[in-house]
């Protein structure tokens, strides 16, 4: 029995090894080390077993490198939606000039289209970095939805923990001061809504009422201490989502499928001591639980269903009309 008008969705930020190393302020990212060939088959197998098609946010730089094309094509060929996760995965897009934003989007879109055959209609800022200027550009470039808000009270706490465990200079920390969003974003809606005229916001779901994270990386942070605790926390989150009629938008990362033996250079990342088999077991539990209560669709499919029907208009200036129910903020 489906409990919500909207289906649930699953998205994956395909952050690569170099992006994590770069964000951490470590050397070696300039060679763009990649684990996509290793992790992509695990992602595909997990989604096939779950009977899911998901939205994959791809970093443009990865798409521009021939060594990653086979992995990225396999995701598109399996029917998963490909979306834009910026070109250089810098979680300070809100500090970019208009010219820098324009160049980043142009590079990312061209590379993603070349590598996957899909033109992105959705975007998520790295580290949930966003701004009115980013959203204005999304509208001008014909995007249907943004997915850059993370409505949690834990954003500043996660950012503080990240700074404590990183090797960043004060200058680099200043660039990353918007990482994981602001405290004020905790009060934004959990359901899709029109954030600016012509653009849907599709936020990452957090625990209704409490606004604590429920994405897989947070569950695996708990699993470091107790796997039953992580499962119980997820099950409680699903109960609260059902009671409040919130169809979850679940966020995954490649590190949810990898451990420290797979990528020794990322031993600094939380939960990398949890064996990959245990991680994937928890992923499967969450996906099974999700599908037992909600129908599922890609974020692009959900956004498309929320856009009010309009007559075809082939002009570049034409913008899709939105369902009036989504104009509330």
pLDDT for the residue 1: 31
Decide if pLDDT at 313 tops 50: no
Query: For 19-76, how does the pLDDT look when each residue is reduced to its tens digit (9 = 90+)?
Result: 999 888 788 999 999 999 999 999 999 999 999 999 999 999 999 999 999 999 999 9
Mention every residue, 6+ apart, whose C-beta is less than 8 A from residue 28: 18, 21, 265
- Output b/e per residue, 140-177; b: 16+ Cβ within 10 A: eeebbbbbbbbbbbbbbebbeebbeebebeeeeeebbe
Decide if pLDDT at 307 tops 50: yes
How far apart are alpha carbons 123 and 134 in whole angstroms? 10
Query: For 127-166, how does the pLDDT look when each residue is reduced to its tens digit (9 = 90+)?
Result: 898 999 999 999 999 999 999 999 987 556 555 555 555 5
Q: Give Rg (Cα) of the chain.
A: 19
Mention every residue, 6+ apart, whose C-beta is less than 8 A from residue 5: 247
Decide if pLDDT at 185 tops 80: no
Q: How confident is the model at residue 318 (pLDDT cuts 50, 70, 90)?
A: very low
Q: Considering the chain, what percentage of its residues have pLDDT values greater than 70?
A: 82
Decide if pLDDT at 195 tops 90: yes
Q: Which helix (H) or strand (E) holds 107?
A: helix 98-116
Question: pLDDT averaged over the chain?
Answer: 88
Q: Which long-range contacts (CB under 8 A, 24 or more apart) does 265-270 make?
A: 265/17, 265/21, 265/28, 265/33, 266/17, 266/20, 266/21, 268/24, 268/26, 268/165, 269/20, 270/217, 270/220, 270/221, 270/224
pLDDT for the residue 308: 58
Mean pLDDT (whole number) for 76-95: 95
Decide if pLDDT at 326 tops 80: no
- Within a 10 A sphere around the Cβ of 250, how many other Cβ atoms? 24
- From 203, 213, 193, 215, select the one nearest 306 (Cα to Cα): 193
How far apart are alpha carbons 323 and 1 in whole angstroms? 25
Domain boundaries, the chain: 9-327
Mention every residue, 6+ apart, whose C-beta is less than 8 A from residue 155: 128, 180, 181, 182, 183, 185, 186
Q: Which fold has domain 9-327?
A: TIM Barrel (3.20.20)
């Amino acid at each position: 029995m489906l409990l919500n008008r909207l289906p649930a969705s699953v998205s994956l930020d395909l952050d690569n090894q170099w992006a994590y190393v770069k964000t951490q302020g470590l050397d070696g990212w300039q060679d763009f080390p990649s684990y996509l060939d290793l992790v992509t088959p695990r992602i595909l197998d997990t989604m096939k077993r779950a009977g899911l098609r998901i939205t994959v946010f791809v970093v443009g730089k990865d798409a521009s490198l021939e060594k990653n094309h086979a992995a990225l094509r396999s995701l598109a060929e399996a029917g998963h939606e490909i979306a834009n996760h910026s070109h250089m995965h810098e979680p300070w897009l809100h500090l970019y000039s208009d010219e820098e934003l324009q160049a980043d989007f142009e590079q990312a879109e061209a590379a993603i289209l070349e590598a996957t055959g899909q033109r992105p209609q959705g975007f998520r800022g790295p580290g949930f970095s966003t701004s009115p200027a980013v959203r204005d550009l999304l509208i001008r470039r014909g995007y249907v939805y943004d997915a850059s808000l993370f409505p949690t009270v834990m954003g500043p706490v996660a950012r503080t923990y990240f700074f404590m465990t990183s090797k960043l200079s004060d200058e680099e920390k200043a660039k990353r001061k918007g990482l994981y969003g602001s405290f004020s974003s905790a009060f934004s809606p959990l359901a899709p809504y029109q954030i600016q005229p012509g653009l849907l916001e599709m936020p990452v779901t957090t625990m209704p009422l409490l606004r604590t994270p429920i994405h897989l990386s947070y569950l695996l942070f708990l699993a470091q201490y107790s796997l039953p605790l992580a499962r119980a926390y997820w099950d409680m989150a699903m109960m609260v989502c059902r009671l409040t009629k919130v169809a979850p938008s679940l966020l995954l990362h490649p590190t949810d499928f990898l451990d420290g033996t797979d990528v020794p250079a990322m031993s600094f990342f939380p939960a990398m001591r949890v064996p990959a088999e245990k991680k994937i077991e928890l992923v499967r539990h969450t996906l099974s639980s999700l599908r037992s209560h909600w129908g599922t669709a890609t974020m692009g499919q959900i956004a498309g269903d929320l856009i009010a029907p309009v007559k075809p208009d082939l002009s570049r200036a034409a913008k899709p009309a939105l369902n009036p129910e989504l104009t509330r903020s």
